[in-house]
Structure 1
Amino acid sequence: MSEFIASVDIGTTNIKINLFNSDYQVVDMVKYPHLNINQDDTIFEMDFEEIWDNVLDGIKHLIIVNEVEQLEIILTTAMHSVQLINEDGTLSGGVLTWADTRGAEIIKKQSNEALTIQYNRTGTPIHSMNPYFKLLSVYEKGKRVSSLKDLLFYRLTGEWVIDISNASSSGLLNLESLTWDAITLADIGLETSELPRIEAVDYNAKAMDTLFNAEVSVTIGTSDGISSNYVFSDLDDVAVLSIGTSHAVRVINNQPQLNNLYQNFAYHIKKDQYLIGLPSNNGADVLSWTNKIFNSDFEELNRIAAQRPQSESVFVPYLNGERAPIWDEGATGNLFALTRVSSRESVLFSIILGMIFNIKHNVSALEELADFSAIGLVGGVTELDAFPQLIADILGYKLYIPTMKNAETLGSIAVVKDIELPREYRIVEPRFGQSYDALFKKYLEKV
């Protein structure tokens, strides 16, 4: 009997499911956008029932079309999600994502000393993305606290379980004991019984018989950040840069390596493995905003990135507030040093440079926390052929870009199976003919 793996990746904008055969080759895939998003200046919620229906529909479709008899589902979800559950088991509101800023008001009321202690105990940055602060704002006694990961696993298997990596990014886990943190729970008014059981990322359970016409098991899996890093598990000394709507740069390290100044995250994966890094609110979303404001498109931006027109303007890309490097939810974007000789092309190039300079700012901080000699790059920006070269030139690192589409789903398999799967990469070497150091220095003076 042929065995298949359905690697399910649920982010804040869509669901991707890749079906792999026993040789870890992709044989089919489905993708669903999140349509029912509730969003304003403070709220950013997803609809769990929409997500559940699409996951179920996608897996059933892959089973039927590919005549699958035996299947392992591996779950990967975005970090920091919160779903409250009523006492009767019904859902209470939507899924709060990392971008939901409820809890920001709580942070302002706490002392720097208390915040530092909380950060050092949990390894989760002091920011409204942290579910701890959201729960201080929205939690009501008697409700259970769930997330995308454990609620999906419960619907699939009947077991209420969360993986250690997503538990670690919840702001509720003690980074030393790797158990729910008693002090943090007491602050919120939570009992351990109101949270899921914690298991390793390779924990597996049988799917409920009523769901699928196949023999199906479910592996709890990990988070999207970790799966992105494991895409490059066959390479040594590589940091991983993910550029989606937001961006993040991360490494897998053998210790947490917390730094209160940088507020890097440190999330446990498995024994002697921690995901450490810095997340930003502003990635390719900056480019989407640019297209809307300037009536440009990605083809034009790619052409400008290739032409690299002369520009002395500086763009600070904090359109969505900012996490790392400045941790200021009230930050805004700014364009400096415009003159009458500034052209449309030079202004657009300044915006592109601002997005990449923001990345460089975080990469520079990560250099002080961990050693790496190259960068693995994932995200939609890799499809714009001029951007990887510009990124390599500005960061000064060789880039490895997977040739496989949605390679993160293969990374999910690598982490739970604890295997290295050789991959094919497009390699982009930095070129040092044109220096942006002076402009980057001007940029740092403005942030």
Structure 2
Amino acid sequence: MIIGLDIGTSSAKAVAFDYAGNILSQHSIPYPIINPAEGWYEQDPEIVYGACIDSIMHVMISLKQSSGEIPKPVCISVSSAMHGLIAVDSMGQPLSNCIIWADRRSEHIAVALEASEAGRLLYQQTGTPIHPMSLLCKLMWIKSNDQKLFAQSHKFIGIKEFLFYRLFGVYVVDHSIASATGLFDIHHLRWSDQALSLAGISEAQLASPVPVDYILNMPRREIAALMHIPEDTPFVIGGSDGCLANLGVGAISPGVASVTVGTSGAIRVASSQANHEKKQRLFTYLLRPNEYIIGGAVNNGGVLRNWFRDNFLSEYTQMEADGDPSASLNALIDSVVPGAEGLIFLPYLTGERAPHWNSNAKGVYFGIQLHHGRAHFARAMMEGMLFAIYSVGIALEENTGPIHTIFASGGLARSSLLVQMLADIFNKPVFTKNTVESSAWGAALIGLEALGIQGGEPTIKNKQAEAEHDTEHDYKPSAENHAVYMKNFRKFERLYHILEGEF
């Protein structure tokens, strides 16, 4: 048995798997996003840390109750969301909240840097688009706007580094997470001197980069007891949630894409070469040396569903609490034909990352007529979210070649309606796995690889290859629906460019 811990934007989730990827137990603990000012988005690192510890504890207790024996995970391997920044003092105590990927306070810094030659060179070196999500832009903002915090900070770290420091007393960051900071040279696997100079920090103020299969053994009995795990349980550092999602669904071959939708969304493909496009629309993150995950993330995924539900479906709140949380919204969407009878939604409620990288973008409903009701607005909202992912998919195909197969994971994969919409919009077959916890399973795969576990099981490489065939459902695209969607999508694209100057 192995545990994958997935530290996401909205929750920490521990998932126990057998070596074949079957879920034995899982537990998720949510935590809030703090919005102290317009465009500022943060989380309390202490709360996130507690959620990680408690989620593992609940899984271990559940396993003991179901088997009657004390479970012993071979290791705990960790997936984490990217782009978080925490300032800590010399004792490792947080001086700030974790500034998360959605934060836009450094927008003016990002805009100026992106337009410069220095920004272009940094993009080529780090693979990370110049955007307020990056640690580089966040650090430049702190240096200019909170000099007291900047001077007091001993280290600048992300949420996974915070977890590992608390557990092991060392500052380490995996190459995968480091490659999403905008501070890391993905070609030489070290911190970029140019980025450090712009940020005004030294290499000593960041965690030490290590491979994704780096192992530390739990040395502290009291913390192990909190999680109900044996002392000396190995922890594998793992990687970023996006890279591990590709690994977890088996999207590691040319032409095979992974689409993940949680709070945000993303589409990614694997490549043996970094992407160097001049338009800077896509990221290039590291899974392992010479194994790159190229793609783009959109800001507005599941957050759109929550926004629509909370503001326009309040009477369904109790219904959802008593049953399937997606059933009422899905039924509403399904009551309207594809294309929402001409109603179009630009889904940029929290700005946008790929392919536009515009933190000032706003949400827009366009084409409203008297016959449009709440169901039309619900369907247009979800179509707009998928159109945003499709925009990234177009840029991805232009740079990495045709996509012929898509694997869907995350909350999206739990809705057959939305997966079918994804297939129709892309006009490509979409597959979902028996295990939709792709990032946690990707972390588990790295953990098994790190420990060299074979045990009569297929090798990790074979597991990855076989994962492409281990599907639960496949969705064939409808040419008729695709034609309807493309008519709206072309207008969707034009609307963004027409309104871009008004945002």
Show CA shifts across 1:34-59 (max 9, x none).
14745542221111111222222333
Equivalent in the alignment of 1:51: 48
- The number of aligned residues is 444
Relative distance call for 1:359 and 1:21 in structure 2 (3 A) is closer
Distance, in Å, in 1 between the alignment partners of 2:261 and 2:187 is 31
For residue 154 of structure 2, the aligned residue among 125, 139, 143 is 143
Indicate yes or no: 2:122 matched with 1:125: no
Equivalent in the alignment of 1:320: 350
AA at the equivalent of 1:427: D
Distance, in Å, in 2 between the alignment partners of 1:321 and 1:235 is 30
Distance, in Å, in 2 between the alignment partners of 1:234 and 1:321 is 28
AA at the equivalent of 2:492: Y
Show CA shifts across 1:107-127 (max 9, x none).
244443222122112111111
Pairing of 1:84-163 with structure 2 (within 5 A): 84-110=87-113, 111-139=115-143, 140-141=150-151, 143-163=154-174
Distance, in Å, in 2 between the alignment partners of 1:232 and 1:109 is 38
Which ranges of structure 1 fall in alignment gaps of 5 or more residues?
none
8 A contact 1:163–1:200 mirrored in 2? yes
Indicate yes or no: 2:395 matched with 1:365: yes
Any idea what SS the aligned residue of 2:184 has? coil
Relative distance call for 1:391 and 1:304 in structure 2 (3 A) is farther
Equivalent in the alignment of 1:212: 224
AA at the equivalent of 2:158: S
Distance, in Å, in 2 between the alignment partners of 1:21 and 1:341 is 52
Percent identity of the aligned residues? 27
Indicate yes or no: 2:411 matched with 1:380: yes
Relative distance call for 1:57 and 1:40 in structure 2 (3 A) is same
8 A contact 2:110–2:130 mirrored in 1? yes
Structure 1 stretch 383-392 or stretch 345-354: which is displaced more?
345-354
Name the structure where helix makes up a greater proportion of residues. Answer: 2
Pairwise CA distance, 1:219:
0.5
Distance, in Å, in 2 between the alignment partners of 1:290 and 1:89 is 39
Equivalent in the alignment of 2:308: 290
Equivalent in the alignment of 1:256: 274
Show CA shifts across 1:251-294 (max 9, x none).
11111112231421101221221011011111132222222333
8 A contact 2:333–2:378 mirrored in 1? no
Name the structure where strand makes up a greater proportion of residues. Answer: 1
8 A contact 2:284–2:294 mirrored in 1? yes
Distance, in Å, in 2 between the alignment partners of 1:125 and 1:158 is 32
AA at the equivalent of 1:102: R
Structure 1 stretch 125-134 or stretch 305-314: which is displaced more?
305-314
Equivalent in the alignment of 1:179: 190
TM-score w.r.t. the length of structure 1 is 0.93
AA at the equivalent of 2:205: E
Equivalent in the alignment of 1:303: 331
8 A contact 1:232–1:238 mirrored in 2? no
Relative distance call for 1:114 and 1:404 in structure 2 (3 A) is same
Pairwise CA distance, 1:61:
4.0
Any idea what SS the aligned residue of 1:368 has? helix
Distance, in Å, in 1 between the alignment partners of 2:61 and 2:421 is 44
Any idea what SS the aligned residue of 2:435 has? coil
Which ranges of structure 2 fall in alignment gaps of 5 or more residues?
65-69, 144-149, 317-325, 450-459, 497-503
Structure 1 stretch 359-368 or stretch 282-291: which is displaced more?
282-291
Distance, in Å, in 2 between the alignment partners of 1:192 and 1:262 is 26
CA RMSD of aligned residues (A): 2.2
